[in-house]
Amino acid sequence: MLLWVMAFFAILIAAVGGLAAFFLQHNYESIREVNALTERAKQVEVINSDMLRARVSLMVAARHLQESGWGSGENSARDAAAALKGATDLLTGVRSRFSDFQKNMLQDDTGRQLSMNLVRRYRSYIDDGVDTMVEALRSEDYSTFYMVNNEYGTPRSAAFIEAISDFSKYIGDQQQATIDQAEANFNRAMVAVGVAVGLALLLMVFCRILFGRLVVRPLVEAGQHFDKIAAGDLTSRVEVKSHNEIGQLMAAVKRMQESLSRTVATVRRGVDEITVGSREIAAGNTDLSSRTEEQAASLEETAASMEELASTVKQNADNARQANQLAASASDVAERGGSAVSEVVSTMQGISASSRKISEIVSVIDGIAFQTNILALNAAVEAARAGEQGKGFAVVAGEVRSLAQRSAQAAKEIKGLIEDSVHKVGAGSQQVERAGATMQEIVASVKRVTDIMGEISAASEEQSSGIDQVNRAVSQMDEVTQQNAALVEEAAAAAGSLQDQAHRLAEAVAVFKINAGEVIEVPVHQLSGYASPTLTQG
């Protein structure tokens, strides 16, 4: 639209300029025509003046010649010759000017008719009058001179002057008509310029109204929309009412507002998901921290029980070695007499009591191994949930589980041996009580007891070694559990920081107001592609 208005202004200016150039050119031609007419009138007036001067000079020459003929002296002759020469020079100039006049006669009918009349009068005046007077004067025929002057010169001069007067009057009329035409052209030019100026003013008013509607008002609306966007209000509706440059600007403002609305909606959804995720992480860390603390407490109890079990097993091994020594001594004493039977019986009773204690301890070890195996399974499950960061903990849990299984197996074997030992000790006691008659059977039984006690001693050594390994594994598990507890605390702190940042981000985007129904939602998978924070093992 603006281009069309500018084009119309350019056309109007070109039209006014062309019209002004046309009238200026016409006036210029009129001025040239007036100048030409003035030059012709002046030329005719000069011819008439020179003709009159030539006649006067001829009259002066005739008078001086007559005076010289009357004996007035040489001065009159010289004056006559000078006057005649002046007359002939003037006539030569007249002929030259009149020849130029004939070459540039007027072309219109009236002007050409008047010019031809002037030529005829000139020819009659110059040929029949002036030239005859010159010839008569040169031949000193004064009577002919004066007769021609009176009969031809004066009437032909009057006729020539009349023709000049008619021609000059026509020239004056033509000049006045040309001037009137120039004035009319000037008036028409002024009217055209006034009309053009009026049209320009009307067009300016129209353009002012049109620009106010098509440019100024949309620009004011665009400024208001920009102010609202700067204030965070994205709910106002941007209307595109045209397809010109202003319409393109409003369309760009609309696209910018829609893009900002989508961005703000996306950020808000992201903040909501981050907030939910951080809460879930915090809850999971709290649960994991509680479980880790429980596991640490269980491991501490297990470590204490293992220390007690190790002490008991060592004591059992010492007792087994002592029993083995006593059995050897009993074998020697059995050969010396039945008096040692009572001592053997009491010793066997002590061994039986110790075996029962060992059996109870082995049951405790078996229970501890079973609980350790369960804890190792729980630790492996938690390590699997932890993902890549829990691989080390999974390896330790596997080793603990293996040690627990080995401890359980050893406890079962020890339990079987102890039960067998208890059974054999009971049988030996019965045999000692019944075998008071035969020392050989007692010796054999004592030897068998000695062998069994050796096996018990070896089993006690193996059990002590296994318990030491379990104790070390439990200590390692306790250390790893403490490290995991520290990592859980760090993860909880990170989750809290993430939640605070999400809250600040939510406050930052809360300043924007959007129409939820007009916002094109972003797919959830574009927002859920971010990995959740995981725990790392230090």
- How far apart, in whole angstroms, are the C-alpha atoms of residue 437 and residue 334? 12
Contact 491, 285 (CB under 8 A): yes
Least Cα distance to 50 among 152, 122, 128, 103 occurs for: 122
Q: What per-residue confidence (pLDDT) applies to 527?
A: 38
Q: In this structure, what DSSP letter does residue 100 have?
A: H
Least Cα distance to 379 among 494, 286, 471, 474 occurs for: 474
Q: What per-residue confidence (pLDDT) applies to 23?
A: 64
Contact 478, 296 (CB under 8 A): yes
Instruction: List pLDDT tens digits, range 74-96.
Output: 667 777 778 778 888 888 888 88
Q: How far is CA 296 from CA 5, 482, 487, 495, in A?
A: 88, 7, 14, 23
Q: What per-residue confidence (pLDDT) applies to 520?
A: 45
C-alpha of 207 from chain center: 34
Residues 2-214, CATH architecture: Up-down Bundle (1.20)
3-class SS of residue 105: coil
pTM for this entry = 0.35
Least Cα distance to 309 among 194, 92, 174, 469 occurs for: 469
Q: What per-residue confidence (pLDDT) applies to 436?
A: 66
Instruction: Give the phi and the psi of residue 233 in degrees, each rounded to 5.
Output: -90, 110
Q: Which residues partner with 513 through β-bridges?
A: 233
pLDDT by position in tens, the chain (length 538): 556 766 766 787 787 777 767 766 766 675 666 666 667 767 777 887 877 787 788 888 778 777 765 544 566 777 777 877 888 888 888 888 887 777 777 767 777 787 778 888 877 777 777 877 888 778 777 778 888 777 777 787 788 788 788 878 878 887 788 888 878 878 887 888 788 788 888 878 887 787 677 677 777 877 877 887 887 777 777 777 777 777 788 788 878 877 877 887 888 788 788 888 878 887 887 887 788 777 777 777 777 777 777 778 677 767 767 777 776 776 676 677 666 666 766 777 777 777 778 777 878 887 887 888 888 778 778 777 877 777 777 777 788 878 878 887 887 888 788 778 777 777 777 776 776 667 667 667 767 777 787 777 777 777 777 777 877 777 787 777 778 778 877 877 887 787 788 777 777 767 666 766 554 444 444 434 433 444 444 4
Contact 450, 329 (CB under 8 A): no
Q: What per-residue confidence (pLDDT) applies to 478?
A: 74
- How far apart, in whole angstroms, are the C-alpha atoms of residue 193 and residue 7? 19
3-class SS of residue 71: coil
The 10 Å CB-count burial string (b at 16+, else e) for 493-531 is ebbeebbeebeebbeebeebebeeeebeeeeeeebeeee
- How far apart, in whole angstroms, are the C-alpha atoms of residue 103 and residue 149? 29
- Indicate where the chain has its CATH 1.20.120.30 domain(s): 2-214
Q: What per-residue confidence (pLDDT) applies to 30?
A: 59
CA count, 13 A, side-chain hemisphere, 372? 34
- 3-state SS track over 395-409: HHHHHHHHHHHHHHH
Q: How far is CA 150 from CA 155, 157, 324, in A?
A: 8, 10, 202
- How far apart, in whole angstroms, are the C-alpha atoms of residue 202 and residue 129? 72
Instruction: List pLDDT tens digits, range 341-365.
Output: 667 667 777 777 777 787 778 788 8
Q: What per-residue confidence (pLDDT) applies to 509?
A: 67
Phi-psi sector, 387: left (phi>0), alpha (psi -120 to 50), beta:
left
- Indicate where the chain has its CATH 1.10.287 domain(s): 289-487
Contact 333, 347 (CB under 8 A): no
The amino acid occupying position 395 is V
Task: Specify the length of the chain in residues.
Answer: 538
> What is the dotted CATH code of the domain comprising 289-487?
1.10.287
Q: How many helices (H) and strands (E) does the chain have?
A: 12, 0
CA count, 13 A, side-chain hemisphere, 209? 5
Dihedral, CA of residue 181, residue 183, residue 189 and residue 194, to nearest 10: -140
Q: The tokens 């994991």 sit on which residue?
A: 288
Contact 317, 461 (CB under 8 A): yes
Contact 407, 364 (CB under 8 A): no
Range list of H helices, 234-390: 245-336, 339-386
Task: Name the CA radius of gyration of the chain, rounded.
Answer: 74
Contact 57, 96 (CB under 8 A): no
